Amino acid sequence: MTPPPSTAAASGAPPVPATAHPPLTMALLNIAHAIDHMVLLIFATAVGAIAADFGFARWEELMPYTTGAFVMFGLGAAPAGRLGDLWGRRAMMLIFHFGIGLACIVAALAQNAWQLAGALTLVGTFAAIYHPVGIPMLVQHTKRPGMVIGINGLVGNLGIAFAAVMTGLLVKYFGWRVAFIVPGLITIGFGLVFWYCVAPEDAPPARRKVKPLPVSRSDVVRAILILTITSTCSGLVFNFTTNGNGELLADRMREVSTDPALLGALLGLVYVVASFAQLVVGRAIDRYPLRRLFLAVVLMQVPLFVLAIFASGWVFYALAIAFMVFVFGSIPFTDAVIVRYVDDRMRSRVAGVRFAIAFGVSAAAVWLLGPLVKANGFGFLLGLMAAISIVAGIAIARLPTPPATHH
């Protein structure tokens, strides 16, 4: 593969040190996070319309065809992280934008479920680049990693909300194929802006000299092991909720389930409100003990999932907002732990391996979602997520105390 142009003439901007990110670069990296989550949730929002078009009797029967997207979203993170550290993060972000854009357009052209499955797998492969590459690029040498990660998480999850609202409207008025084409073109457009406006790096991260973090090797290994367990649990819950919430709302709020645009708007509101939890958590990460805060946020999910088992109508809707606040609120901790324990020269590789394991396992959530709900109902799914959150809490309690200094 030929690397994207990295000269000043090709990019339209002079080379600058990789740690000096101007506000526009920060904004584009945050928008890329929104794109990353947006494209992965188009299918989940449009699955009912796609299933009808392809002749499936129930939407649950089509859900397994998106498994490849989430498997590659996990497995692709390891090579993406390695290339980000050794080759360059800017170059990988260009591949991210143009790859996703083209893959979305290919998805819109699918004529059957297997063709769509292949196109979604391509979307997941390119989407895998962002977390191990974009976030380490964003937090390079920041003095307030919690706040930076919190803002990034907010914007990323607003992408989920945007996917729900935009896909609902596009499916209602133009059909599900347009719901893939429009995000694809938007992503390519932002890729062109990124290519022109973001300056090339002075050197790949692995070749830079950085001050070592004040943390022992054993604590680093322990933290990464625990982080892999907790992020696997979080990934399962995240995939179960974000891929299942549309049909879950339709099941528990039957009075609005006949209007896809209204259902999409209600779902989008859930994600918008929940996304702001990451700003609060981001600020708290910079001020309070990391382990205690992480534990509290994860364990709060348990009673809310249990209460949701027995709720319906607008009571369920309020509980859905509440449990998604804590699901989204747990997201910034993953990157905060990596910033606290791993220096910048290898953050993309560590994040990539961690994401590959966690997202690879949690991709099972997408494959299992339809069959689980079909066989046992949504109450079982909510109870399962409560149990997964308990497992995550047990692991978090073993997290070593992080160093006070971060890079």
What pLDDT was estimated at residue 255?
74
Tokens matching residue 313: 């109508």
- Buried/exposed 167-191: b ≥16 CB within 10 Å, e otherwise: bbbbbbeebbbebbbbbbebbbebb
**In sequence order, which residues have a C-beta less than 8 Å from that of residue 203 and are 6 or more positions away?**
18
Which pLDDT band, with edges at 50, 70 and 90, does 212 fall under?
low
CB 192 within 8 A of CB 291: no
Is 62 a domain residue?
yes
Average pLDDT over residues 221-235: 85
Residue 360 identity (one-letter amino acid): G
> What's the predicted TM-score (pTM) here?
0.74
pLDDT the model gives residue 139:
85
DSSP symbol at 286: T
- What band does 240 get if pLDDT is binned at 50, 70 and 90? confident
**What local confidence, expressed as pLDDT, does residue 4 receive?**
44
On whether residue 380 sits in a domain, the answer given is yes
Return d(Cα 166, Cα 160) in angstroms, integer.
10
Identity of residue 44? A
Specify whether the CB–CB gap between 76 and 125 falls below 8 A.
yes
pLDDT tens column, 291-332: 899 999 999 999 999 999 999 888 999 999 999 999 989 988
User: 197 is in which domain, residue-wise?
Assistant: 18-204+212-396
Give the C-alpha separation, 319 to 269, whole Å.
13
Q: Is residue 141 part of a domain?
A: yes
Is 285 part of any domain?
yes
**Residue 3 within any structural domain of the chain:** no
275 in a structural domain: yes
How high does pLDDT run on average in the chain?
Answer: 83
The C-alpha atoms of residue 262 and residue 367 are separated, in whole angstroms, by 27
d(CA 393, CA 139): 26
Position 187 scores a pLDDT of: 96
Rounded to an integer, the average pLDDT of 85-103 is 93
Burial (0-12, 13-18, 19+ Cβ within 10 Å), 212: exposed
Domains held by the chain: number? 1
**DSSP letter, residue 191:** H
Please report, for the domain that includes residue 196, its CATH number: 1.20.1250.20
Compute the Cα dihedral for 84, 87, 90, 96 and give only its sign: negative
Average pLDDT score over residue span 197-201 = 86
Which of 7, 266, 287, 32 lies closest to 135, judged by CA? Answer: 32
Which region among 357-361, 372-376, 398-402 has the lowest average model confidence (pLDDT)?
357-361
Q: Is residue 237 part of a domain?
A: yes
Computed over its alpha carbons, how large is the radius of gyration of the chain?
Answer: 20
pLDDT reading at 37 higher than 90: no
User: Is 1 inside any structural domain?
Assistant: no
Q: Are 226 and 399 in contact (CB under 8 A)?
A: yes
